[in-house]
Amino acid sequence: MMEVNGVSYYVRTCGDGPKKVLLLHGFTGIGENFHDAISMFEDYGNFTFIFLDFLGHGKSSIPSSSIRYSMEHTIRDVKTILDKLMIKKLSIIGYSMGGRVGLSFAAAYPEYMEKLVLESASPGIKLTNEQQERVKADTLLAERIRHEGVQAFVDYWSAIPLFETQRYLPKEKQQMIYEQRMKNSPIGLVNSLLGLGTGAQPSNWDRLKTLEAKTLLLAGELDEKFVQIAQEMTKHMKNAEFVKISGAGHAIHVEQPRKFGKIVSEFLSN
């Protein structure tokens, strides 16, 4: 546990290689969700991996105010964690919500960045009216969690089209994902939605052109929405490449860990 700006984060490092990599998980997840994928890295020994659980997730603090979960606070916390670990340069791998955090961090603190990997991620929402609609949708979902509890939410969340491809995973892996999601706190999930949801964060579309770090954008071929987002992002970025992963949906590192490990480790090593 690490004390960070008045809250506690669960942070774990793995390995002692010269290349530092921070892994940022998605909504309802934990840092350890990346474990299987990074174990597939072809040059595993060259890396030091840093896992963390976002606020409201895993073993980290669960503040009662959604404001504490905001993108501004979150990327400041990430910077503080890196400073405490005395890491001045690193690469970031961010999935979904973690990708939005990684992109926001790279835009705000470019001096820390070596490379950036964004898996099924977006820069936020361009249009104000669409952003407002997303805030309304996230607020309704948060109210649903408050009134129905975590189990009802996890049952609903596991069945949404975004994760439909995970039904083809081995049953034991599906059960592990379900059990991990069930450990989440209702307050943590509610405040993550309200404070760090796609609608709540400032849009980064206009900042894409300012990013200098070499960036790898990944999306699963079965996740058409995020394939389109990644393709559009690539057009606005100076040093970005997009790879579409066959046989995968939204959570590539879970559905295709071997492909993910090979592609990402090659990108980070070259």
For range 257-261, the mean pLDDT: 96
State the helix-helix crossing angle for 71-84 and 97-108, rounded to 10 degrees. 70
> Predicted confidence band at 217 (pLDDT cuts at 50, 70, 90)?
very high
Which of 76-90, 149-163, 219-233 comes out lowest in average pLDDT?
149-163
Residues 143, 32, 248, CA angle at the centre, nearest 5°?
80
> Predicted confidence band at 21 (pLDDT cuts at 50, 70, 90)?
very high
Alpha carbons 146 and 142: distance in angstroms, whole number: 6
pLDDT at 43 over 90: no
In percent, the amount of the chain with pLDDT more than 70 equals 100
Structure confidence at residue 60 (pLDDT): 98
Residue ranges and CATH numbers for the domains of the chain are: 2-124+202-269 (3.40.50.1820)
Structure confidence at residue 270 (pLDDT): 85
Alpha carbons 192 and 54: distance in angstroms, whole number: 9
For range 47-51, the mean pLDDT: 97
How far is Cα of residue 218 from the mean position of the Cα atoms in its chain? 12
For range 245-265, the mean pLDDT: 96
- Structure tokens given for 67: 């404001």
pLDDT at 216 over 90: yes
- Structure tokens given for 238: 């100076």
Cβ contact 154:178 at 8 Å: yes
pLDDT at 42 over 90: no
Residues 40, 41, 44, CA angle at the centre, nearest 5°?
120
What is the residue whose two structure tokens read 């606020």? Answer: 55
pLDDT at 84 over 90: yes
For range 172-180, the mean pLDDT: 94
Half-sphere exposure in the Cβ direction for 116 (13 Å, CA) = 32
For range 21-27, the mean pLDDT: 98
For range 32-38, the mean pLDDT: 94
